Amino acid sequence: MQIKLSPQRRDDALSVTKSGDILTINGEAFDFSALPDGATIEAGIVPCDWIVGPVERIGGTLHLTLLIPHGPNPSQAVAFPEPLINPADGPLVIPFDAPAEEEPTDVDG
């Protein structure tokens, strides 16, 4: 499996787990195991806002692109993420920036 990552400014979170050709995205499973070699699922057909572009099987390998959310000032790792090539089954390590800690306010009563 080869997963390209496409950063997008948004405030929601992304959680992805892989099991073979099944991706579970934010709790919803998408099974691509029936996609034959050389076939393409056109962009917009998969009912998932996180999958953008086509899903293809090329030379036996599944290729797709996932959106990854980021805040207003993403780090280099989030703004220019490396693709995930043959990730292991389990939770995928998606680059993200930890939320900034809020400064405590000084309350004098």
Is 42 within the bounds of a domain? yes
99 band by pLDDT with thresholds 50, 70 and 90: confident
Is 97 within the bounds of a domain? no
The secondary structure of 51-69 as a DSSP string is EEEEEEEETTEEEEEEEEE
Average pLDDT over residues 87-108: 78
Which domain range does residue 50 map to? 2-91
pLDDT in tens, 53-77: 999 999 999 999 999 999 999 999 9
- Number of domains present in the structure of the chain: 1
pLDDT, the chain, mean: 92
102 band by pLDDT with thresholds 50, 70 and 90: low
Distance CA 68, CA 14 (A): 7
